[in-house]
């Protein structure tokens, strides 16, 4: 079973994505900010990470930088999403950037691309 880590401070979005990916037969890990997500990564390694950009405690860019700087995690594909009008600086730290709202079919296709069977 493939594992996805979803990081978002909007609990409605987090819950909806958790349900969608559970239905898609993913093991789903969730965190409401980058700091909590990093703690999860200390004992769980997902196949892909989906993270929001603007969050409390630790934003998505800082989180991505931390993941990429850890040799044990640096190869995990990362998708950043945001409702901000422009993508954040730091594109080298993630694989794809998606503007919210994201079409679920597009998100699923992208995640499946990063987690082939």
**Confidence at residue 87, expressed as pLDDT on a 0 to 100 scale:** 64
**Confidence at residue 72, expressed as pLDDT on a 0 to 100 scale:** 95
CA dihedral 33, 111, 44, 95 (to 10 degrees): -70
- The pairing of beta strand 27-31 with beta strand 96-99: unpaired
Domain limits for position 24: 3-114
Q: Which helix (H) or strand (E) element contains residue 79?
A: strand 78-82
Give the pLDDT of the chain (117 residues) as one tens digit per residue: 999 999 999 999 999 999 999 999 999 999 999 999 999 999 999 999 999 988 888 888 899 999 999 999 999 999 999 887 666 666 788 999 988 888 999 999 999 999 987
How much is the CA Rg of the chain, to the nearest whole Å? 13
**Confidence at residue 82, expressed as pLDDT on a 0 to 100 scale:** 86
What does the DSSP 8-state code read for residue 93? G
């Amino acid at each position: 079973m493939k594992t996805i880590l979803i990081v978002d401070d909007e609990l409605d979005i987090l819950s909806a994505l958790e349900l969608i990916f559970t239905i898609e037969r993913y093991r789903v890990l969730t965190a409401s900010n980058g700091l909590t997500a990093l703690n999860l990564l200390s004992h769980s390694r997902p196949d892909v990470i989906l993270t929001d950009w603007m969050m409390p405690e630790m934003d998505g860019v800082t989180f991505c930088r931390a993941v990429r700087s850890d040799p044990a995690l640096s190869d995990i594909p990362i998708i950043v999403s945001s409702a901000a009008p422009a993508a954040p600086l730091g594109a080298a730290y993630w694989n794809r950037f998606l503007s919210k709202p994201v079409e679920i079919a597009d998100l699923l296709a992208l995640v499946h691309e990063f987690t082939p069977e």
